Structure 1
């Protein structure tokens, strides 16, 4: 029994560290936390997934989505996937169609001006988006442009198997990212922008 308990503790610790990295940052600007793992195995994904589930239940974020990226990247399809998840969560929480659900529902059938409507919808909301399997810095440049920095404390978590991509996603123009090992016996690191005091 102690082996199961110890394994559970080994899993929960990196989940808690990742959750703290996401919510500890008290800045209102959009922040990116990039997670780099070399194996892409089930343990790595369960840590990232556990953190995402905890954050989703925390009620800090009004809109949440987990996206397994498709290659080559199609920004319109990406936005449609995110809107679909926002819609389902909004419907589940309300138990009925609300004005917010109706706005999201109308966005699902559009391709023209979807990015503008997406940005307008998120303009007053704190959102959390998890992007799984980001492969290149070029993909990140395209994706980052889709998300508004509405100064509401929104967060994006990126999971990648490429250390240079993780570092690129988490940096800002002014500050290089810092890294933290999440799991002692595995190559699983989180990158985030260092806060300027």
Structure 2
């Protein structure tokens, strides 16, 4: 999260260097140096965010990386304060432009004060630079990786979604039957099914139900499930695919770490050339994914099937002749049915005194099965009284980061945040300024985003058009 603060500081420094011609020469050099230091530190932040999340979940000890990211954020705020003070004093200096003895004497007084202020700012800038050097040195000490391109997110394989019980599947039963029919019948050509939708809609659950279906298992000679995630490279995907098919076909390979790409393609060709196979690629992020596997998985006219799940419709749009199934939030009746099963047990009977508050809670869940299951499970252990449930409803946002029942929801939100381009991350975090459940006018919100500088300038399109196309 500190990356947003650092990015804003870098942009502010860049704007100051471009627009302000009256910086003291020594200060200008220091500002340029600070900007360069921040750009280097920013490249460590993506890895730091990954490590910090792992620390919060208890996967590593000490919290040193979280502390480091906090120090970076505080230094970025300090930079903003110094810049604001400098700009404020510059504005005061030009406030009394004009002629006359009084104006002249006032300007001389301001000039003397300005020298003191600039000297103080110069001293603060030197202190900032020294702090940033120390921060960068500590990043290297903690073995944070230098990442220039892309974000790294700790990937949640969503194993729980894969093994979800049939009794908890609500609202996608007909889709499951439709996709099973598509998998076991139809064309003998290799075909691709893309399951598309935002995090928490049940893409992994749906793919898992198809993959584990008895009819599907009997129809195909071999199956493979590959969890992709955002950090997977082409070689990672090929290696995982070979290993999965090795497990079910009986083929064995040597040390795959030493295999070149052509060796891997040859191995997959040998594994699958006479097989009717089905393979699921779960949680695909990269737009060039199809280029990774198009020639790796042989087209042998055996009726093979490829299923992929993704949040990004643009990924499946690049695949020829793909069958796209876009998952939607559960309608209110299905959402209530699933909620009742989780909150009240298999019979799913909601008492009349809790019905209204239950629907209010469901509005917060937005039809997302993951959120409904998580909140319903949390409420199943609470007293069935409206006061207790109202208290949870009022504090639902604050409990996302602290309650173990809601940990999966928090992970989905984090993955969605890290998947956004930089300027949209800023836009999303801006919602933190508004109270919970506050109604925000869309046009006003866009103007606020533009005023904050969250939207990049373009000669060809307005800021509003840039936001709509993001």
**TM-score, length-scaled by structure 1:** 0.69
1:17 equivalent in structure 2: 178
Task: Give the drift of 1:66.
Answer: 0.7
1:47 equivalent in structure 2: 206
1:167-182 equivalence runs, <5 A: 167-169=317-319, 171-172=320-321, 177=322, 179-180=324-325
Deviations 1:87-138 (A, max 9, x none): 3334xxxxxxxxxx2xx21266461412112112211111111011222331
Larger radius of gyration: 2
More helix by share: 2
Greater relative CO (CA pairs within 8 A, separation 6+)? 1
1:144 equivalent in structure 2: 294
Pairs aligned (count): 165
1:91-106 equivalence runs, <5 A: 101=250, 104-106=251-253
Task: Give the drift of 1:180.
Answer: 4.8
In structure 2, runs of 5+ residues without a counterpart are 1-165, 332-366, 369-470
2:198 equivalent in structure 1: 38
- Match of 1:165, SS state, is helix
Deviations 1:165-187 (A, max 9, x none): 12322x24xxxx56455666469
Tell me which of 269, 293, 308 is aligned to 1:119: 269
Report the CA distance shift for 1:108/1:61 in structure 2 as closer, same or farther (over 3 A): farther
2:309 equivalent in structure 1: 159
Tell me which of 271, 278, 282 is aligned to 1:128: 278
Report the CA distance shift for 1:63/1:108 in structure 2 as closer, same or farther (over 3 A): farther
Report the CA distance shift for 1:6/1:129 in structure 2 as closer, same or farther (over 3 A): closer
- Match of 1:106, SS state, is coil
Task: Answer with 121-130 or 58-67: which moved more.
Answer: 58-67
Preserved contact between residue 191 and residue 306 of structure 2 (Cα < 8 Å): yes
Task: Give the drift of 1:156.
Answer: 0.4
Task: Give the drift of 1:70.
Answer: 4.1
Preserved contact between residue 136 and residue 165 of structure 1 (Cα < 8 Å): yes
Task: Give the drift of 1:79.
Answer: 2.5
